Each structure stands twice: as C-alpha cells, then as structure tokens.
Amino acid sequence: MDGGGLVGRWEELRLLHTFVDRAAVGGGSLVLTGDAGIGKTALLDAADEYAGSRGATVLRVVGTELEGQVGYASLNQALYPLLDRIDALSTTHRTALQVALGFGEGPPPDRLLVANAATVLLRTAASAPLLLVVDDVQWIDRASAGVLSFVARRLTGSRAGFLAASRNGDNQGYFDHAGLPGYDVRPLSDVDAAELLGLRFPDLHRSITPRILQTAQGNPLALLELPRALSPSQRAAAEPLPAVLPLGRHLQRYFVARVANLPEPTRALLLAAAVDDSGDLGVLLRAGGDRYRLEDLGAAERDHLIEIHDHRLRFRHPLIRSAVVAAMTSADRRAAHRELAAVLADEPERRAVHLGEATIEPDEDVATMLEEAAGRLLGRGDHQSAVALLTRAAELSPGADARGRRLAESAFLGAESMGDFRSAADRLEAIRRAGGDAAASLHYASAAALVMIDEDGHVDTAHRLLVAAIAGSPDARNASNPEIVNALWTLALLCFVGGRTQLWDDLYAAMARLVDVPPDLLSLTLDMFADPARTGPAALPRLDAALRSVHHEKDLDVVQNLAGAAMYADRLAELREPLWRIVLQGRDGGPARKHLVSLFDLGVDDFHRGKWDEAAEFAAEGLAVSEDRAGGFFSWYPRYHQALLAAVRGRFDTARALVDQIAGWAGPRGAGTARAFAHHALVLADLGRGDYEAAYRHATAISPAGVLASHVPHALWMAMDLVEAAVRTNRRAEAADHVRALHAADIPALSPRLAILVEASAGIAATEDDASRAHFEKALSLPTVDHWPFDVARVRLCYGERLRRVRSVNEAQVQLAAAATAFTNLGADPWTARAERELRAAGLGTGANVPRTAALTAQEAQIARLAAAGLTNKDIAARLYLSPRTVGGHLYRIFPKLGITTRAALRDALGPDD
C-alpha cells in the first residue's frame, strides 16, 4: 500500500503524477469519471498531495448536491485564495470578477467576461505551479460550471492545471467535459479488492468475503461499507447473510437516491425484480398486474440501472439491487413477494419462498408449504436452501411443537450437511428454552450428537445420547420415517468415527428392532463400510447394482453414502462424476461438510491411483473447507491424506507431525478411526524408512497379526504392510497367519486392489521359493494391476528382492527396474531409493537396463552359470569338453566383465536361469 493508503491504483497514480508534472510546466486539464464510491476523491487527494509536495499551490473546490444553485458559489470557493492577486487584472476583468464573486456592487456581469477574467487570474497566479482541483464537478452551480468549462480549455501554455472528478450517472450537471482529456476510474481488480477487505476488516470471516466481493464488484466504498452494515455475528459467519445485502449509510445516500427519483411504477417493477432473482420479465409483469408495464422499465434503463437481455432483467450492479430494496418499505417488499407467489403456482419452491417472505404472522399453511418445498430441495441436493426454508417454516409455525420440530430438523441438516455446528447449537438452545416436545425429537438428538462431537465431546457420549433417543422414540420401529433413518445414519457416522465394535452393536440392535426392512442404501453401506472384512464380499452384488445407476444421482446423501459403500471395495472411481459435482457445488458455497467428505473420497481414489499431486490439492482444499466452513471436527480427513503423502514421499518429519496431530486430537475424543487412519500413514513412513520393527508394531496396534480386527476396515489397507514387516522382522508364522486370515475372510473378493495385495502378501509370507514366485506372478497377472501404481510397484519390489535372493538375477532386475521407474514417476523417494539399492545389489547400476551378462560371450555365460551353480573348473571342463585351464582362463576374463572379483560373488551377479 502506498499513495496515501490506497490499495492498488498504481496505473492511476502514475497517470496523475505525470499530469501534475506536465501541468506544472505547460498547463493542462484532466477529468476523472467513474461510479460513486469508485475512488475518484481518493485519487484527487493523492494528486493534491503530490502537487503540494512538488511545490504547487493547490486550490480545491467540491460541488455539493444539496446547496441551492447560488450563482458562482463554487467559483468563489475556487478563486478566493487568489483574491490578493486580483489587482493585477484589468479594471473590466477585476470589476466583473468582484461582482460575480460577491465582493463588489454592480449589474450582473456578462458570463464570458467573468470566464475570461478567471482565466487570466489563474494564468497570472501561476507564475509558480498551480493546480485547481474540482471534485464532484457534476454538482457545481450552473454559473461556475460555465466558467470552469471555459477555463479548463484555456490553460495550455500556463503553469496551471485543472483536475476534476465527475460521477457517472443520470445527472451530468452543467460542466461541459466534451473534448477534455478524461480518465475513467475502473473498479479495483479482484486481488486489490480482496486486499482492501483484508486490510480493513481483518476479522471478517473468510466464508463471507466472497459475498462481499461479489456484491461490491471492486467498488472501494462498497468494500468498506458492506461489512459495516452487517451485524457482528453476521461478520463472524455465525448468522446467515440476508438474500440482498444491506447498504451502509454512504452507499444508501449514493445509490438509493438514484432509485428514489424513479417513477413509482418503475420502482415497483424493480422491487419485484430485486426480490426474485430469476429476473424473468414474464413473471415480473404478470405479478405486477396493472401496477406497472414493460414500458416502465425505460426510466431505469436510461439511467443505466438495469439491462435487459433475453427477456431477463439484470441489475447493472449488485449495489443497485440492494438500493432498490432499501428504497422501499418492508410493506412494499411483502406485497412484491405476495404478488410473485400468486403467479408462481406451478413452481412450488419459488412460490413457497415468496409466501414465506410475504407472511409475518404465524401461518401453518405457509409453514407446511415451506417444509414440503424444503423436502423437495433436499432431494435435488440443495441443502442450503432447504435449511433456509425450514428455518422460515419454523418461524412461521403457530404451534410450539411444530416450530421446535422444524427448527430441530434445520439444525440437524445444517450440522450434518453444511457442517454448520454453531448455528445448529443456537437452534437447539432455542428449542430447549422453548420447552415442548421438540427437544425429545430424533432430529434434535441427531443434531445435538453432531454438535457435541464438534465441541470436543467424547464420541461415546454422543453415541449414547443418540442410542437412547432412538430407543425412546415412539416411532423407533418405523423404517419409513425419515427422522428415524436420519438418526440411524447419524449413529452410523458416530460408530464410524469411534471405530469400536460395541458402538456398532447398538446400531445393529436398533436396526433389528425396525418393523420393516431398513432402506437398501443404509444396509448396503453398513455391510460395505462398517465391517467389510465380514459382511463385504456378500454385499458386492448389491453394490454393483447401486453403482450402475448413480451417475445422474442428484441427492447428495445418496452419492455420499454410496461412496462410503464403495470405499473398501476400491470402487470410488465409479463415483467420481457425482462426487465432483458436490465439490463444485461446495466451491460455490454449497454444503461444506458434503464438500469436505467428497474431497476426501476423491482423495482416497487419487491416492490409490497414484494421482498424488491431485490428492494433495484435494487435501489442501479440504483443510481450508473444514477450518473455514465445516467446523474443525473433520479436518482429520484431509490431514490423513497429507500424512500419507508426506510418508510415501519421504517427508517423514511432516508425516510424524501430522500423525501426532491427528492422534492427539483423536485420543481424548475416542475417535478410534482417526487413530487407525493415522497409523496407516505411520506404517508407510516406517516402511519407507526401513524401520520394519516399528512398522510391525504400528500395524499390529490396529489389527493384530492373524486377525482382521472387527469393525476396523482400515486394517485391510495395511494388510500387506503388516505381512511385509512381519517377514522382515523374522515373524514368519505371524505373516502366514495374517495371510490365512485374509483368505479365510475372502478379502480378495472384496476389491481387485486388495486381491493383488493379498496374493502378494502370500508371496511375501511363503517360505517355499517356488510357491512364493507363483503367488507373485499371480498377483501381477490379476485384473487392474495397472490401476494402482504404488501398490503394484511395492509388490514388484518385494518380488524383485525375493528373486534376487534366489539368484534369479535377470528376473529380479526386470521387477526392480519396473518398481524403480514407477516409484520415480510417483515421487515416492524413499521407495525409489530402496528399489535402486536392490538393483545395485542385483549387480545393476541404476538406470541401466541391460543385464551385465550381455557383455559375456555365449560360452563365457555358460561357464559363468555353471561356476555360479557351484561346479569346479574341473567339472565344468568335463561338461564342456574343455581343459580345466581353459575354463580358468575364461573365468579370469568373466570376473571383470561382471564387476566382481571372487567366485562367490558370481551367484549374486547371475541368476540360475541365465
């Protein structure tokens, strides 16, 4: 920031400095134009200050709207400081000026004479640089305007400059710009606007700055005033913003005046447009009946307040929309809403919204209509509007119980989908204070449970509360009551976060009590997500069926719950499209918690598929969403991915710090799953570092060897890690047990990726070399091997290590080189290093893909192989019909070609099949 506290405006300041410098030696004029509040005065101030610093005399005048058109008032103001120079003028000029400015008596002087006199005065006064600055030139009185229009054109060749600012708009006043050099002051750039907002309102919640920026459209006055017109809790995003942002005092003055002067029918039409954001002229005209007609828009169009495109009305600036609303009374606004509702019979949601706004007194019909509309909006994925409608429905409910019930549902939805825990808490508090049945409702209990965990409560406590509420609900056995179903989903979320079997048992018990079958998606998601090691494989056909029809699914809950079902089957890729839609919606201000969870789901898929940069971006976005908008509770999702990525990329300290953060947070809250997730990152870091003992300890802390811990699905993702760590720490029996458990649970059926990992685990655990080789070969021939580059590269690394130990050097090289390439491409540095170390041990420099045996002649290779197999020179000679001395001579040449010095090293340099 420079130029007297201005943000941005470098170009304008350079222009003004140049102007001031040039005028100081050769005179000149410049008129700034622009909207109210755009920063003209601020720029004049900057020019004024600069001219002063350069030794110029600065004269300042400002036109005022309110002053009556007193003759020459502004000119008087401008020239008063020069009065002591008036003696230098000719008598005619002096008299004319004195009379005009009110210092002398006489008949009104001729306008041209006054103008000439003023010009001469200015030019003579400018023996040293002089700058006349006229702000709001559109408002100076008519007589002065005429004189200044004249003067501004006659300063060239003097040392006097004329700099004015004029507001765009209907009333251009009397000053004549035509032909004068001008500069149109444009809105601030997005970056500068955001900077100004950040500087002046450091406490403004990040989630509402987009609304302010959008409404202000780079207008500095609006950037400064709009936040001030909000209540402190609105500024802190604890309370929702109104549909049309209120204007501050100054904005009111500037913008409302333009609207207030319009004819009454025009204003009524604009008001209807302002409260219905479709801008659909057909609807607006029907709503107005005979109060206004299309022609009435003319006045507003001429005034550049609106534009018409394709039968739609658009406000030229969002501030004008606000001004229209501010210019009318609340009774006018309600009337407009009522009229719109009347003509929107076939658009029930919009109709309900307008009726809700038109109504003040509680009205059960309107409340019901709003509640129904909210239900339909939910089905279409518009949670935000649904919450707003439910809230309004609650406000308009005549009975305390209906009010509480609707408020409870809005609290639940707000917390569950938007992560808006704070206003949910407020609503629950209001329900509690009001007494009545609603505090015993399941929506209340569900919302309360979510608020509780967000407020650092223990998962078990929230769980207990909700279990009791479900059990106590009179309708607890009704599987078609959405309130029951929502409560069960919420309970499932708590069980998932807690990650303990006992928690799930309560949910199963509640499900078992239902009279009819629970909703398909709930059972499917539980089977695939709660404990897939036991219930997953059998549920796969249902998952297939559900995934077939999900592409065009609009209901965010369905998409998200199905993503849960798809996760441990590694089928998230089939949901990318709808998940992306939720993300895009979230970026546009849609439900924040859905946004966050979708980012997580996409990140899981990306991580497994080796799209690590994208996964990192999702994680960063997720962290911002969780901290800004969705409450901090679920920030362990993105942190998990950050920890994983840090681990596999070898940033072990970062991984450790993130893991500590997650685990430290999860511990006191009983969030067992967060802890399991953290361990996954820990295990990958251990393996990357080569600390197999630690890897084994960390993996078995989540699920012991030989056991697939109940309701800890994440242990499946660490299965091969555990087996590898066990073998490397000489726990072959444990490794074998674990492989047995994986097979017994039919985990290979659960997901193609897990099938590969389980088969490879069998290869790692196998004591028999041939059996091991068969498992690895099978693993690498399974479907989808090319989908999971990191997992498969790890399989190849293990296989290559094994091959090298059994002296299949060439084969080992093939696997190790493939692994090294994949790790390099991924940026999995510690793993690349491991693969390269193995390659070197296999006798291959990194990057070389030609086996060293290629340097041997066919006969040398044959001799080398026999020697490596343990035959003596004499034996070899006998087999090949050579003399032992010839064999010795060959070996003498072979050793340096293979880079070895001893016979014993031959075995490592070659494979038996060579």
- Residues of the shown chain interacting with ligand ADP in the complex, contacts defined by CB under 6 A: 6-9, 34, 36-42, 196, 220-221, 224
* Comparison of 8 and 752: residue with beta carbon closer to ligand ADP: 8
* Comparison of 175 and 717: residue with beta carbon closer to ligand ADP: 175
> DSSP label at 439?
G
In SS3 terms, 804-863 reads as HHCCCHHHHHHHHHHHHHHHHHHCCHHHHHHHHHHHHHCCCCCCCCCCHHHHCCHHHHHH
Q: Which does 7 bind (CB under 5 to 8 A by kind): ligand ADP, Mg ion, none?
A: ligand ADP
Q: Which does 38 bind (CB under 5 to 8 A by kind): ligand ADP, Mg ion, none?
A: ligand ADP
* Comparison of 165 and 373: residue with beta carbon closer to Mg ion: 165
Nearest residue to ligand ADP by CB is 39
CB of 255 to Mg ion, least distance (A): 14
Nearest residue to Mg ion by CB is 41
Of 33-41, 312-320, 433-441, 455-463, which segment contacts Mg ion by CB under 5 A? 33-41
**CA dist., res. 499 & res. 674, Å (int):** 8
Determine contact, residues 155/123, Cβ cutoff 8 Å: yes
CB of 209 to ligand ADP, least distance (A): 16
What letters, b where the CB count within 10 A reaches 16 and e where it falls short, cover 313-342? bebbbbbbbbbbbbbbeeebbbbbbebbbe
* Comparison of 186 and 897: residue with beta carbon closer to ligand ADP: 186
Residues sharing a CB contact under 8 Å with residue 35, sequence separation 6 or more, in sequence order? 167, 168, 169, 187, 219, 317
CB of 7 to ligand ADP, least distance (A): 4
CB of 262 to Mg ion, least distance (A): 23
Q: What are phi and psi of 594, to 5 degrees?
A: -65, -40
CB of 4 to Mg ion, least distance (A): 15
Residues sharing a CB contact under 8 Å with residue 77, sequence separation 6 or more, in sequence order? 61
* Comparison of 7 and 56: residue with beta carbon closer to ligand ADP: 7
Q: Which does 221 bind (CB under 5 to 8 A by kind): Mg ion, ligand ADP, none?
A: ligand ADP
CB of 60 to ligand ADP, least distance (A): 13
* Comparison of 7 and 373: residue with beta carbon closer to ligand ADP: 7
Number of CB atoms found within 10 A of residue 398's CB = 12
Distance of CA 251 to CAs 225, 226, 653, Å? Answer: 7, 8, 52
* Comparison of 215 and 751: residue with beta carbon closer to ligand ADP: 215
Q: Which does 388 bind (CB under 5 to 8 A by kind): Mg ion, ligand ADP, none?
A: none
| Cα atoms in the 13 Å half-sphere on the side-chain side of 880 | 25
Write the burial class of residue 542 (CB in 10 Å: 0-12 exposed, 13-18 middle, 19+ buried). Answer: middle
CB of 176 to ligand ADP, least distance (A): 20
CB of 48 to ligand ADP, least distance (A): 12
Nearest residue to 749 (alpha-carbon basis) of 575, 576, 610, 569: 569
* Comparison of 322 and 391: residue with beta carbon closer to ligand ADP: 322
* Comparison of 164 and 445: residue with beta carbon closer to ligand ADP: 164
**CA dist., res. 865 & res. 843, Å (int):** 15
CB of 165 to Mg ion, least distance (A): 6
Q: Which does 34 bind (CB under 5 to 8 A by kind): Mg ion, ligand ADP, none?
A: ligand ADP
* Comparison of 34 and 851: residue with beta carbon closer to ligand ADP: 34
CB of 314 to ligand ADP, least distance (A): 23
Nearest residue to 739 (alpha-carbon basis) of 707, 715, 713: 707
Of 40-48, 175-183, 306-314, 328-336, which segment contacts Mg ion by CB under 5 A? 40-48
* Comparison of 16 and 546: residue with beta carbon closer to ligand ADP: 16
* Comparison of 90 and 171: residue with beta carbon closer to ligand ADP: 171
**Long-range Cβ contact pairs of 365-368 (< 8 A, separation 24 or more):** 366/393, 366/396, 367/393, 367/394, 367/396, 367/397, 367/398, 367/402, 367/406, 368/393
Residues 475-504 that bind Mg ion (CB under 5 A): none
Q: Which does 720 bind (CB under 5 to 8 A by kind): ligand ADP, Mg ion, none?
A: none
17, 26, 41, 150: which one binds Mg ion (CB under 5 A): 41
How many residues bind Mg ion (CB under 5 A)? The answer is 1
Q: Which does 58 bind (CB under 5 to 8 A by kind): Mg ion, ligand ADP, none?
A: none
Residue 312 forms beta bridges with which residues? 280, 309
535 lies in the binding site for Mg ion (CB under 5 A): no
Q: What are phi and psi of 165, to 5 degrees?
A: -130, 140
CB of 216 to Mg ion, least distance (A): 16
**CA dist., res. 39 & res. 13, Å (int):** 12
CB of 834 to ligand ADP, least distance (A): 56
Tokens of 108: 């009104």
Q: Which does 93 bind (CB under 5 to 8 A by kind): Mg ion, ligand ADP, none?
A: none
Q: Which does 572 bind (CB under 5 to 8 A by kind): ligand ADP, Mg ion, none?
A: none
| Cα atoms in the 13 Å half-sphere on the side-chain side of 463 | 23
Q: Which does 615 bind (CB under 5 to 8 A by kind): ligand ADP, Mg ion, none?
A: none
Q: Which does 262 bind (CB under 5 to 8 A by kind): ligand ADP, Mg ion, none?
A: none
* Comparison of 8 and 536: residue with beta carbon closer to ligand ADP: 8
* Comparison of 291 and 304: residue with beta carbon closer to ligand ADP: 304
Of 37-45, 274-282, 473-481, 642-650, which segment contacts Mg ion by CB under 5 A? 37-45
Q: Which does 9 bind (CB under 5 to 8 A by kind): Mg ion, ligand ADP, none?
A: ligand ADP
* Comparison of 15 and 62: residue with beta carbon closer to Mg ion: 62
Q: What angle do CA 635, 638, 643 make, to 5 degrees?
A: 115
CB of 40 to Mg ion, least distance (A): 5
Q: What angle do CA 33, 35, 36 make, to 5 degrees?
A: 115
Q: Which does 327 bind (CB under 5 to 8 A by kind): Mg ion, ligand ADP, none?
A: none
CB of 122 to Mg ion, least distance (A): 23
**CA dist., res. 559 & res. 543, Å (int):** 13
In SS3 terms, 570-638 reads as CCHHHHHHHHHHHHHHHHCCCCHHHHHHHHHHHHHHHHHCCCHHHHHHHHHHHHHHHHHCCCHHHHHHH
Q: Which does 39 bind (CB under 5 to 8 A by kind): ligand ADP, Mg ion, none?
A: ligand ADP
- What is the enclosing helix (H) or strand (E) of 131? strand 130-135
> DSSP label at 54?
T
CB of 69 to ligand ADP, least distance (A): 22
**CA dist., res. 560 & res. 568, Å (int):** 14
**CA dist., res. 592 & res. 586, Å (int):** 6
Q: What are phi and psi of 62, to 5 degrees?
A: -135, 130
Kindly give the pairing relationship between strand 160-167 and strand 28-34.
Answer: parallel
> DSSP label at 358?
H
Give the interface with Mg ion as residue ranges (CB under 5 A).
41
